[in-house]
Amino acid sequence: MSRVISTLQLDVDDEEPSSQAFNIEANCINKSKIELDRLMELDADEVDKFIQFVNMKLLNIKEYPDEYNDNGDVLIEKLPFYKTFLVSYLIEFFFLKNDPKGLDVYLKAIRVPGLKKYSAGLKDIYRQL
């Protein structure tokens, strides 16, 4: 995954993630019911597609204004990503590639708000790869 981070030139925190962040990612893995070694089975072409997927998803996030900062005068500190942030992206990519119908089941299991809209957005990104 270091190739993904270096290719995208992301600011990543070298410290170990907090226990809360680690538990969130571990929960995603558990709810996905995907074995870790299956998640890591990406050939060179798939790694390139995954890099494009992460890039497009990050660009898509930037396009939406912060709903919780309506007045625009609150400064929000932007922190670097934890090393583990790619876990959830990899799980979503895995479902899009191998089991698109299972994606909604997974997103429901981890309680993603606006599940239908989020799922449709992910599927649209994947179609563009």
The whole-model pTM stands at 0.82
Output 78 or 128, whichever has higher pLDDT.
128
pLDDT per residue over 50-107, tens digit each? 999 999 998 887 654 555 555 556 666 766 778 788 899 999 999 999 999 999 999 9
pLDDT per residue over 30-51, tens digit each? 999 999 889 888 888 899 999 9
User: Any bridge partners for residue 12, and if so which?
Assistant: 81
Band the pLDDT of 11: cuts 50, 70, 90. Answer: confident
Does position 25 have pLDDT exceeding 70, yes or no? yes
The burial class, CB within 10 Å (0-12 / 13-18 / 19+), for 23 is exposed
pLDDT at residue number 63: 53
pLDDT at residue number 69: 52
pLDDT at residue number 1: 61
